[in-house]
Structure 1
Amino acid sequence: MNIETRTHLRVYFLQNYNFDNLNDKEFEVLVNDLIASKESVHVDRFKPGKDAGVDGRFFSAKEHEVIVQSKHWIKSGIAALMRRLAKDEAHKVKLINPKRYIFATSLPLSRADKIKLKDIFSPYITSEDDILGKDNLNDLLAQYPDVEKKHYKLWLSSSSVLDAMLNSALTGRREAKRDQIIDATKMYVVTENHSNAIDKLEELHSVVITGEGGIGKTTLADQLAHYYVGKGFELCVIEDDLSEAEAGLKKGRQQVFYFDDFLGRNYLMAIEGRTDSRVLNFMDRIEIDRSKRFILTSRSSVLKQGKFDSDLLGIKKVDKKEYEITISSLSILDRARILYNHIWNSGLSNEHIEQLYIDRRYATITQHDNFNPRLISFITDPDRVRDVSIEDYRAYVVEKLDNPEDVWAHVFDKQIDEVTRIAVFLVVYNGTAVSESELRSAFKHRVLNDGIATASNVVFQFDSMMKVAVGSLLQREISSTSKGPQINLFNPSVADFVLRRHNRDSATLGAFFVCLNTENSLVNLKSLKESSRLSKELYYRILSTLCAEKINKGFSQEHPKYFTRLLQMISD
């Protein structure tokens, strides 16, 4: 048995795609590519729209027209498909009157199913070989592995790649990150940014994916990591500290290191902790090792400020490894594919979806100046629009596009209570993840001061709040480098919303910073001033409030670093 035959058999026995991570358009392209390989012809595709029963077309040796039709009906069963074909599609085929008709579906088909399908499309389907079900498509993928590799999202869901991901020795937050990467694959749209970032990784072995909030930095970085795991690289997810990555660096072993948001929300904290120097030194080691890749992400504004404040980031010329994603780097076609993919996977009702197609309203979305993937995720989330009527949905979408900073407003004002808002605000103003014990203490201080809770029920209030907030606004993480659970924001855009809402309210800001007895909160306060997100006047007012509340009540031996930092800030 030759190598090629063994490879085909291995793929046959290992791969059993159900194609659920492809949308219907991606499935059509896959079917056309498989038929093109099988028939050794070029299959014409047609622009999206009402297909009139034609998803692909080619001409036989006798110049007879051959029509290809694909139905990706993973959300419905075979009975529903049969009814639809008999009612609508059979008539379309009769009007076209092709010499040969090939039908493909992602559903598994029995021998009886194929007989029924042949009868529905008689006399245009002359052989059951021209009826392709799930198993037939997997057989063709085994015969034509180049087609599998061409379809990136399909290849990433292969059993070999999935096994490599699942067999990664990860724990806690790293395991959650791996699962997030796998789950997000079906939502991914391969754009030019993908190939450009891979080119940079192949040349320099490191890439820093930058861009502003919501543009898709983490999504791109996730799939770059996924891509390299598929190529046989070991996945090494860095949490907060490079120590484990440095210790885990194995000579000669293919490894991809992934450090999401390496400067964090607070660049001053990263620089003071010398994260910049250690990251850059690690990049130097990776650059000379052809078996290693290093993927990092950072907001453009945070990295820019970091370069300004860190001599190393400037001297080391991190610029050459930076790849920035901007709205302008997404073509109108890319935007349309992103929108379509979100709609396909969203679970939105057909009535809501139809509102986006009336008079080509989707063009308003794809051409909008504020288009970004995170915003598209918001406006196509059925849970967020369940209270929006069908008639009002289009206006809702336009409003969110025109005022993207308000995407969290409905959640904060209508969907959560005051105690949950307080907890989220405390995490935001801490500037980074806060230990659960510190958050509990700050929460208790704030709700008791406000009279929202009593000493007898404050514990119940906190525990109830955590059940509501974790998984939607907050995330609870257990790290190997920290003592006890850490609480962080579920989505970094929450911080943008909260800071914009309170950036002129010294009384509100002061009250929250008073409750936070963490050094990180003080570093964050200074960072907000340095990045001009808080005015100097407001910064001084908050410092005065902290001075009155903390210093005048006496030095606390429990938080010496906090008081040392506060005194230094007042002195400065």
Structure 2
Amino acid sequence: MRDFSVLSDVEFEELVGDLLGAEFNTLVERFAAGADGGIDLRWNLLDGIHIAQCKHYRKSTFSQLKAAASKEVAKVIELHPVAYMFVTTFDLSPSQKEQIYSIFSQWMTDPSAVLGGRDVDALITRHQAVERRHPKLWVSTGMQLFWNLHSDIANRTEALRQRIEKSMPKYVVSPGYQAARQLVEDHNVCLISGPPGIGKTTLAHMLLAEHISSGYEPIEVSMDINEAWVSLSRDTRQIFLYDDFLGQITFSERLAKNEDRRLSDLIERFSEEAPRKKLVLTTREYILRDAKLNYERLSELDTRHQFVLELKDYRKSDRAQILYNHLWHSDVSATCLREVAEGGYKHILDHQSYNPRLIEYCTGRAFDVETPGYPERFKATLDHPERIWKVAFEKHLATEQKMLVLVLCTLPRQAHIEILQEAHSALCEYLGITNTETSFREALEVLEGTFIAISRDDSGGTNIRHLNPSVTEFALGRIAMDRRIMAAIIKSAKFFEQLSELFLYGAGGSFFHPGNTTLMSALGKSKDDFLEAMESRFESQSSQRQDVQILGTQFRALIELSGKFEKRVGFYLQVDKEWGLRPSVIEERVEFMITRWRNHEGDKSQALDLFDDVSKNPLSTGLLSDVHDALHNWLEQTLEETEDWQHYVKHLTDHDGVDLDDELWLAERFEEFMEREFRSTSPHPSNLDEMKSLADEFGLHELSDRIEEALHEEHGPDEDDYERPWSVRDHEEKGSDAYIENLFMRFRE
């Protein structure tokens, strides 16, 4: 049976109205509660007026449903229809149908006029065109079928699956959804931008859910776009989600060097060559505007393909439905709901700070949803949204729990639980706060769903993040205001990256948002402690580690990501620009890298980026020459993979001024490499696009043609039969004051 729990009672009535209209081939009128004496649905047949009552009971017992049905009798007597139907999502047994029928037998010919959940399900199967007009229902049903058929994918994407299933019931289908669907259909790519809290991620989740229901495998990109390239599967329908791809606060915290190129290449490939691949991205509007000024490729792509959807605001009808859905699916007390119904909703819907994120917070467990005065508390939060976290932080959290919220700012956006525990324990110990394994777990339980979110990654590791960017902004503000906490975080840092994360939040680097000036000022006052901590933590383990299973065993281990030292030396150069360091400090770090590169140690991509930065630093000519030679020899002597060739060619063209057409010996060496690749891989080598680019740069036309043929065979004709019928609903009536008043009056029942 389909899962009707994703629908509110209003959405269920709309579904039933469409189903009965299709069943009887007539127009079925709908009425809000209280609008017409208890009628939900009404239609006119040859024998007279028929009416129906809908009861969408999620958590009730049959006795409660029967009692509610009995209360309808007086209304039906007054209306005196020729026929009456009672429709519910409750899965009724034959005996229970008989009991409901006995209540309304005067207006029913037999128990078939009582429809339970399975009867509604059968009607939907008979009228599938109706189901298409109710996306939440068919998307939810199709998604559950996909999970059941692909348990391996369900397990691998458990965290994403939970977030989608949590957001879907409260979602309101709006014009933005149809616009986003159209962009995905036309371009295979949709970039959703808009102000904080407008619902970008929820819309992205709906797009993913829809495609999952059509057989697409979901892939969540969390760190950088390379995850998408690695996850590409030639013969599989896939949809990729890259949430907040330009960063949560400023774009400078997210895109690594050259990631804009890899991202634009992926968008280009999806838009023009890969109809079985879809990409959904989200970002704040001002960050996107900023990034377009700095990343020319993003601006060019949007101009050519026009795949950006900007969410600006909601119509009044959408605002009302969003608030109603959140209240209906929440645990807000009957007292508070009555206050909303009696006019409290008006101050919420018309408020200038209205957005779905604040609605979710004020209907969630972190808010007082029990005691009288609920609309006033709700409005006070909208008046001063910055106080959301302040009140909860100061009044409801123990000191140890507060430190967990704060220290999370200094860790990767998705921090592994063991990394967080190490950093948190060190901070608590420095401040003299009692901290144990048990209290740490208790802190996670208290904070989950309010300040933090807990999820599992593809490898089975547990990750912790702030619930949303506004929590991060709040926590950074607290750190900036409290010099004692600032000093403690710096001096207790277990990982070098804790320092760089904090610094980058302060320094920013974008034109419109240069960073957090208050935080940067506070860091400046702790400059000596900060530099000392950088020195002492330079060779520490990295906080950017991945949980992997050790091959051939049941054991797991946290493995450091490559490029740790390249990034750390690059950070020294950033700090030097901001504060000015002694030349000997920079020289010492550069010499450290020279030694590693001579030993063929490090990450080549990060090394190329670092060399760009080192070249701009006023180092001695001899030291700069040593850096170049160490990198050049490492790249030249280790040409084993396609990426090795890409790195070497980039170095030659960018820094050595080499014209590849003149390097015949190198072209011959690349041809030999490619011949080995074609012989050793079946049916074709991977990274064909990159290989073709290199062949073109070397002027190897025959090799380029051969790769082009392989690319054509790989992609082949690939028709995407994905198509969903759609109907646009008229929201004018739903935006009327009368409709909205009757909508919220339901909470008085």
Q: Distance in 2 between matches of 1:135 and 1:264?
A: 46
* Residues 512 and 66 (structure 1), Cα distance of their counterparts in 2 relative to 1, 3 Å cut: same
1:194 partnered with 2:158: no
Residue 445 of structure 1 deviates from its aligned partner by 4.3
CA distance 1:231–1:245, change in 2 (3 Å): same
Partner of 1:228: 211
Q: Which amino acid aligns with 2:42?
A: R
Name 2:345's counterpart in structure 1: 362
SS of the residue corresponding to residue 232 of structure 1 reads: coil
Q: 1:505 Cα deviation (Å)? A: 5.5
Task: Tell me, yes or no, if structure 1 residue 324 matches structure 2 residue 301.
Answer: no
Structure 1 position 216, deviation (Å): 0.8
Counterpart of 2:22, as a letter, is S
1:492 pairs with 2:469: yes
Equivalent position SS for 1:407: helix
TM-score (norm 1): 0.86
The one-letter amino acid paired with 1:404 is P
Q: Pick from 16, 23, 43: which aligns with 1:58?
A: 43
- The CA deviation string for residues 95-151 of structure 1, in whole angstroms up to 9 with x for no partner, is 111122122111223333333333322422233332212222122112111112221
The corresponding residue for 2:391 is 410
**Structure 1 residues 129 and 467, CA gap change in structure 2 (3 angstroms):** closer
* Preserved contact between residue 172 and residue 321 of structure 2 (Cα < 8 Å): yes
1:4-39 CA-partner distances (Å, limit 9, x unpaired): xxxxxxxxxxxx125222111111111111111111
Counterparts of 2:444 and 2:63, CA distance in 1: 44
Preserved CA contact (<8 Å) 2:41 2:51 = yes
One-letter code aligned to 1:395: E
**What is aligned with 1:21?**
6
* CA distance in structure 1 between the aligned counterparts of 2:424 and 2:509, rounded to whole angstroms: 22
| Max Rg structure | 2
**Structure 1 residues 488 and 73, CA gap change in structure 2 (3 angstroms):** closer
What is the aligned-residue RMSD (CA, Å)?
A: 3.0
How far off is 1:472 after superposition? 4.3
Which residue of 2 is the match for residue 306 of structure 1? 291
Task: Identify the match of residue 571 of structure 1 among 570, 574, 577.
Answer: 577
Residues 153 and 570 of structure 1, relative CA distance in 2, 3 Å threshold: same
Q: CA deviation at 1:60?
A: 1.0
Gaps of 5+ in 2: 541-564, 579-749
Q: Tell me, yes or no, if the aligned pair for 2:408 and 2:465 is still in contact at 8 Å.
A: yes
Instruction: Indicate whether 1:161 and 2:138 are aligned.
Output: no
Offset at residue 511 of structure 1 (A): 4.6
Aligned to 1:379: 362
Q: Distance in 2 between matches of 1:303 and 1:172?
A: 33
Does residue 1:473 correspond to 2:456, yes or no?
no
1:218-257 alignment, distance < 5 Å:
218-251=201-234, 253-257=236-240
Deviations 1:396-455 (A, max 9, x none): 1111111112122222112211122122112224473445555445434433333334xx
Secondary structure of 1:547's counterpart equals helix
Residue in 1 aligned with 2:673? none
User: Which residue does the alignment assign to 1:10?
Assistant: none
Q: Give the TM-score normalised by the residue count of structure 2.
A: 0.67
Give me the whole-angstrom Cα distance separating, in 2, the residues matched to 1:552 and 1:503.
Answer: 18
| 1:172 and 1:478 in contact (8 A); partners too | no
Q: Partners of 1:81 and 1:554 in 2: how far apart?
A: 69
Query: Is 1:429–1:525's contact at 8 Å kept on the other side of the alignment?
Result: no
Quote the offset at 1:549 in angstroms: 4.3
Give the 3-state SS of the residue equivalent to 1:296 in structure 2: strand
Counterpart in the other structure of 1:550: 531
What residue is the counterpart of 2:252 in the other structure? Answer: 268
* 1:80–1:308 CA distance, 2 compared to 1 (3 A): same
What is the aligned partner in structure 2 of residue 5 from structure 1?
none
Residues in 1 aligned to 2:346 and 2:145: alpha-carbon distance in whole angstroms: 40
Aligned counterpart for 1:423 among listed residues 395, 401, 404: 404
Change (3 A) 1:273 1:463: farther
- Cα distance in structure 2, aligned partners of 1:563 and 1:506: 27
Change (3 A) 1:395 1:524: same
Greater CA deviation, 342-351 or 492-501? 492-501
Query: Does the CA-based 8 Å contact 1:172-1:479 persist in structure 2?
Result: no
**In the aligned structure 2, how far is the partner of 1:411 from the partner of 1:282?**
42
Per-residue deviation at 1:508? 4.6
Distance 1:540 1:369 in 2: 32
Question: Which AA in structure 2 matches 1:162?
Answer: Q
- How far apart in 1 are the matches of 2:140 and 2:464? 31
Answering whether residue 59 of structure 2 is matched by residue 72 of structure 1, we say: no
Residue 150 (structure 1) aligned to one of 133, 138, 147? 133
Distance 1:326 1:220 in 2: 13
The change in CA–CA distance for 1:544 and 1:77 in structure 2 (over 3 A counts) is: closer
Aligned-partner SS, 2:394: helix
Unaligned 5+ runs, structure 1: 1-15
Shift of 1:510: 5.3
Change (3 A) 1:538 1:89: closer
SS in 1 for 2:168: helix
Write the letter of the residue equivalent to 2:68.
Answer: R
In the TM superposition, what is the alpha-carbon distance from 1:65 to its structure 2 partner? 1.2
Kindly indicate whether residue 298 of structure 2 is the aligned counterpart of residue 352 of structure 1: no
Q: What is the DSSP-based 3-state SS (H/G/I as helix, E as strand, rest coil) of the residue aligned with 1:109?
A: coil
Counterpart residue identity of residue 186, structure 1: P
1:447 aligns with 2:428: yes
Deviations 1:195-223 (A, max 9, x none): 01111111121011112222111100001
Q: Indicate yes or no: 2:322 matched with 1:338.
A: yes
Tell me how far 1:225 sits from its aligned partner: 0.8
Contact kept in structure 1, 2:147 and 2:153, CA below 8 Å: no
Amino acid at match of 1:399: A
Q: Which amino acid aligns with 2:162?
A: D
Is 2:158 the counterpart of 1:175? yes
Alignment length (residue pairs): 544
Whole-angstrom distance in 2 between the partners of 1:216 and 1:461: 34
Question: In 2, distance between residues paired with 1:40 and 1:251?
Answer: 46
How many percent identity over aligned positions? 27
**SS at 1:346 equivalent:** coil
Q: Secondary structure at the match of 2:229?
A: helix
